[in-house]
Amino acid sequence: MDADASLLNIDDPGQRPLPGLDWRERLECLRALIAPLGEVVVAYSGGVDSSLVLRVAHDVLGPRAHGVIGRSDSYAARELALALEQAAAFGAEVEVVTTGELSDAKFRANALDRCYHCKSELYRRLDEVAARTGASAVLDGTITEDLADWRPGRRAAAERRVRSPLAELGFTKADVRAAAAHYGLASQDKPASPCLASRIPYGTEITRENLGMVERAEELIRSLGFRELRVRHHGDVARIELPLGDLPRALLPEFRGQMIEGLSQIGYRFVALDLAGLRSGSLNPAVADGTPRMPGPSRVFTRD
């Protein structure tokens, strides 16, 4: 698909749009960007980034801002409940659509472009909602820092002409959290929680069973009072990532014993505590310059 030269290219994270603006000014720009769209669909997950987009869209457009959650086996039930509760608190209606990426052999194969197949399915369903409601644009919560990470889903966004207003306006995570606190969003300090498939190493088939194991494992560790965590699934090994400051507590006999016993009951034979600590995207591929990126342009579009 050819892109018009006038469209904003947000593929280069080194060129932050609108340099010099603080979060308040960017927030006003966000309101000004959304207002003329008239009616929008927001890809909403309950994370702080998409929550801010939905909150502002709801504030500006009211019932013409349609939050949509893609529900799949990769999306933890806990995350769905929190997302719906938050949206209800500020009055936004959210539609939950079922996505069927597990029926896609390319997604299940879990190659390096796994996220592309997942997002292609999600955006296809969001396009259906946009067509039904007459929305002029589908918006997501991509921010500036996301552009430097391994994000094959950006290609799917470009193909489906999804707009990323936060990235367009140069929002960083700090900007988003400040704006979310301004609105009193429940997710303002919520730790990032990528989809459960991100816990499965590339090349390992994604199944409903191993996604379920990861979900139950993370719920177990969260029930012990650990707020930020990942459980990486390596067959019969559960590799637990926690912030470095939480490692000493995890090794206390009462916590260590409960983790071993609980994870064994879930189906893991071995339990490993990663001494490197929590790293978002620790299973992502690396490239020579240390910045994993999906090749090709990632642009934002206004729908026809």
Residues 6 or more apart whose CB falls under 8 angstroms from that of 152 comprise 112, 113, 114, 115, 116, 119, 294
Residue 98 pLDDT more than 70? yes
Check residue 14 and give its pLDDT.
58
Q: Per residue in 218-236, pLDDT tens?
A: 999 999 999 999 999 999 9
Determine the Cα–Cα distance for residues 61 and 34; give it in Å rounded to an integer: 8
On whether the CB atoms of residues 169 and 141 are closer than 8 A, the answer is no
What is the pLDDT averaged over residues 108-114? 96
Residue 289 pLDDT more than 70? no
More confident residue, 290 or 245: 245
Predicted TM-score (pTM) of the model is 0.89
Check residue 302 and give its pLDDT.
34
Residue 13 pLDDT more than 60? no
Check residue 3 and give its pLDDT.
30
Q: Per residue in 41-56, pLDDT tens?
A: 999 999 999 999 999 9
Residue 304 pLDDT more than 70? no
- Least Cα distance to 137 among 69, 5, 39 occurs for 39
How far is residue 104 CA from its own chain's centroid? 20
Determine the Cα–Cα distance for residues 3 and 167; give it in Å rounded to an integer: 18
- Least Cα distance to 101 among 117, 116, 80, 123 occurs for 117
Q: Per residue in 175-215, pLDDT tens?
A: 999 999 999 999 999 998 899 999 999 999 999 999 999 99
Determine the Cα–Cα distance for residues 211 and 70; give it in Å rounded to an integer: 16
Check residue 9 and give its pLDDT.
52
Q: Per residue in 40-95, pLDDT tens?
A: 999 999 999 999 999 999 999 999 999 999 999 999 999 999 999 999 999 999 99
